[in-house]
Amino acid sequence: MQIERDTPTTMLRTCDPVTFQDAVRSSFVPLQFEVPDDTRFTGSIATACADGVMFAEITASSGHVERTLEAIARGGSGYYKLSLLLSGSGLLVQSGRSAVMGPGELLFYETSSPYSLGFDGQFRNLVMMFPKDRLELPSALVDTLTAVPLVEQHPLVGVVSSFLAQSSPHLANLSDRAAARLVNATVDLVTVMLAAVLDLETEPRRSHTTLLQRIQEHIVENLGSRDLTPSSIATAHYVSVRRLHSLFEKDGSTVGTWIRTRRLERCREDLLNPGFSHRGIAEIAASWGFPDAAHFSRAFRVLYGLSPSELRRLGELP
C-alpha cells in the first residue's frame, strides 16, 4: 500500500516471518524490515488510511526497520512518521540522534533521510504517517525534532499520545467523510503539539489579512536579496511553504508573481531616477534580484509594454 492513495483497512496475523516482512514493506514507503530467524515468531499488522494519512498498528515478537539511501532512491520521500510505542522497548536512530523508546514514548521521524528502528523483544507500536506539507509549520524547524523523545518536551505530548492511542482503532469503522475529518483533526492536533514543543505560535490564530501583510512587508524589505525564496519566507514566518502559497492564492496571486512585480517596480523607479543615470541597466536589474539581463528585459516588457532602455530614454526627455 502506498499512502498516496487511500486503500481499505487491512489486517494480517501470521507466524511466518517472511509473510510478515512483506506485509510491513508493502504497508509503508520502501524500507527493509528484518525479523530473527525464530520458529516461534508471531506478528500482526493492522492498517487504515484516510485522506492521505495512514495509521498502522504493528505487533511482533521482535524486528528491525531500516530505511537506507537505496530505499530512499526507490521513492517515498516527503513524509513524516509518528511512532507511539504501546508496549515493549526500542531504539530510533536518525540524523545523528538516537532515542530509546519505552511504553508511552512518542517519537517523530521522516522518510527523506535514512533511519533505523529496532525492537529486541515483543513490542506493540502505533505508527502515523502523513505528507510533510500537511503540517502548517516550517519543515526546517520540524526536522530538528526527529529522533528526539517528545514526551519530556511538553505536557501536551501526553495528551496527543492518548488521543492517538484511543482514536486510531475507530478509524476503520467510520464513514469516509467522518474518517477524513478525524485524520484532519489529528494532523491539526499534531501541529499544535509540535508548535508547542518548538515554542512557536501556531499561525491559524492569525487572520489571513494580517499574516499576508506581514509577509508582504518582509518581502519588500528583502527584495534585493537572492536568498528571498518561498522556503526562506515561510521559515521567517513560521508557516509551511504550502500555507504560504495558499495565502497568496486566496489573494489572487502567487508568491513568485508578487515578488517579481515588486522587483520590476523598483527597477522602473531607479531607471527613471536621474540620480541613478550613471548606473547601467544590468546593474540596476541585478541589484533587485534579476541577475539575468535578458530575462529581466523580457519580464519588464511584459509588464510595462516597453524595454528598460526605452523607458530610460523616455525619462531623459525634457
pLDDT tens for 26-71 read: 888 898 888 877 668 889 999 999 888 999 999 998 889 999 999 9
Q: Residues 147-187: pLDDT tens digits?
A: 999 998 999 999 999 999 999 888 888 888 888 889 889 99
Residue at 58: amino acid letter: I
CATH code for the part of the protein at 206-318: 1.10.10.60
Residue 61 · residue 38 · CB < 8 Å = yes
Range scoring the smallest mean pLDDT among 53-62, 117-126, 196-205: 196-205
Range scoring the smallest mean pLDDT among 117-126, 174-183, 288-297: 174-183
Question: Where along the chain do its domains lie?
Answer: 10-200, 206-318
Query: Which pTM was predicted?
Result: 0.66
Counted residue by residue, the chain has a size of 318
DSSP 113: S
10-200 matches 206-318 in fold? no
Is pLDDT above 90 for 280?
A: yes
Which among 222, 229, 164 is positioned nearest to 193, based on CA atoms?
164
Pick the CATH number of 10-200 from 2.60.120.10, 2.40.10.220, 3.40.605.10, 1.10.3720.10: 2.60.120.10
Cα–Cα distance measured from residue 247 to residue 228, given in angstroms and rounded to the nearest whole number: 17
- Taking each continuous run of H as one helix and of E as one strand, the counts in the chain are 12, 11
Residue 238 · residue 138 · CB < 8 Å = yes
Confidence bin at 97 (pLDDT 50/70/90):
very high
Query: Could you tell me how far CA 146 lies from the centroid of its own chain?
Result: 13
Is pLDDT above 60 for 2?
A: no
Residue 254 · residue 248 · CB < 8 Å = yes
Mean pLDDT of the chain: 88
Looking at residue 213, its pLDDT comes to 87
Per-residue pLDDT averaged across 250-266, rounded?
93
Residue 19 · residue 6 · CB < 8 Å = no
Is pLDDT above 50 for 7?
A: no
Q: Which helix (H) or strand (E) holds 64?
A: strand 63-67
